[in-house]
């Protein structure tokens, strides 16, 4: 089976790696030529443009870094004119539901299918085919794309119409950001009180305070390893989640708090860091600043 992949950065590249390992023929396109070269070195075929790629494939997977990148790519007139009727584009990018619905409408007018299917799990789980995927769009298109989705995801959920997958992913990202921040605060507090961090990890993972992000990030931090996901993507996601909440007429205190933290991390220049390193550096730095402020006012 031949699959086209648009966007082969850290996540898209891992998806290509997984597909090639399963025996798929994979064609790729990215705005960064070095990324195309990396995928070609793994065994993929290069494509000259996104429009060329969609014109020659029934199944397309996309993994793009931002809502603007998704809109620029999928509403480009050259790509839209090149869409094959009946083709299925599975967009694994994390964007707001309004962006997903906009692209869905553009594709529908050409008789092409668009599924918003953002993923959770990071590049390492993508390469292992162990992603969690929430899918929005037409159910018939989901059924046709389900075998491909299950090649990449350990858990695949159809959650509703256009935009539903993106909505579900942003709700997930609210918790990812919250648990990541809490995990690093717990680690910093543990070290400040001279408690063995490894013992803290052992106790918490056996108790009710455990979460996937605590387990993942603290384990990596203790081993001096990185997660593989950039902090800037989580910052982007919490901004989108906060915007989605506001557009829904809600005022959520946790969303506002985490959005403020995200802006401070971005301002501190931690956006390009690996998420483990970025969160740990921010929490450690912020706690030291607060301690110094407290001493100066005594």
Please write the tens of the pLDDT for every residue from 251-273: 999 999 999 999 999 998 888 77
CATH topology of domain 2-161: Rossmann fold (3.40.50)
Rounded to whole angstroms, the Cα distance separating 22 from 28 reads 16
pLDDT given for residue 290 in this prediction: 56
Point out the residues that are catalytic. Answer: 169
pLDDT given for residue 123 in this prediction: 85
For residue 166 the two structure tokens come to 């993106």
Q: Which of 147, 149, 161, 162 is nearest to 74 (CA)?
A: 162
pLDDT given for residue 294 in this prediction: 46
Model pTM score? 0.89
Q: Where in the chain is the domain with CATH 3.40.50.720?
A: 2-161
- Asked if 234 contacts 173 with a C-beta cutoff of 8 angstroms, the reply is yes
Q: Where in the chain is the domain with CATH 1.10.1040.10?
A: 167-296
pLDDT above 90 covers a percentage of the chain that reads 80
Class of 167-296 in CATH:
mainly alpha
Rounded to whole angstroms, the Cα distance separating 43 from 21 reads 10
Q: What is the pLDDT of residues 23-79, one digit of tens each?
A: 999 999 999 999 999 999 999 999 999 999 999 999 999 999 999 999 999 999 999
Rounded to whole angstroms, the Cα distance separating 254 from 286 reads 18
pLDDT given for residue 276 in this prediction: 83
pLDDT given for residue 289 in this prediction: 59
Spans of the chain, pLDDT less than 50: 294-297
Residue 279 CB neighbour total at 10 angstroms: 29
Q: Which residue has the tokens 């993994």?
A: 63
């Amino acid at each position: 089976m031949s699959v086209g992949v648009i966007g082969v950065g850290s996540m898209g590249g891992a998806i290509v790696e997984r597909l090639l390992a399963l025996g798929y023929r994979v064609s790729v396109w990215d705005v960064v030529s070095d990324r195309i070269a990396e995928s070609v070195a793994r065994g993929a075929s290069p494509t000259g443009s996104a429009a060329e790629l969609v014109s020659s494939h029934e199944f397309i997977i996309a993994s793009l870094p931002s809502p603007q990148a998704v809109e620029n790519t999928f509403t480009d007139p050259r790509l839209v004119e090149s869409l094959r009727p009946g083709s299925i584009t599975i967009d694994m990018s994390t964007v707001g539901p309004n962006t997903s619905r906009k692209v869905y409408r553009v594709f529908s007018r050409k008789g092409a299918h668009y599924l918003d299917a953002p993923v959770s799990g990071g590049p390492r789980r993508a390469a292992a085919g162990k992603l969690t995927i929430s899918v929005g769009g037409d159910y018939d298109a989901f059924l046709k794309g389900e075998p491909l989705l299950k090649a990449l995801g350990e858990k695949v959920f159809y959650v509703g119409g256009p935009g539903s997958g993106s909505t579900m992913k942003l709700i997930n990202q609210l918790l990812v950001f919250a648990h990541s921040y809490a995990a690093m605060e717990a680690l910093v507090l543990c070290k400040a009180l001279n408690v063995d961090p490894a013992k803290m990890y052992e106790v918490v993972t056996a108790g009710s305070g455990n979460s996937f992000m605590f387990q993942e990030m603290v384990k990596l931090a203790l081993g001096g390893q990185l997660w593989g996901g950039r902090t800037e993507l989580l910052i982007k996601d919490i901004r989108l989640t906060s915007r989605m909440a506001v557009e829904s007429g809600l005022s959520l205190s946790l969303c506002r708090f985490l959005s403020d933290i995200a802006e401070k991390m971005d301002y501190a220049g931690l956006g390009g860091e690996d998420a483990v390193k970025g969160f740990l550096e921010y929490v450690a730095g912020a706690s030291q600043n607060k301690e110094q402020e407290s001493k100066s006012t005594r």
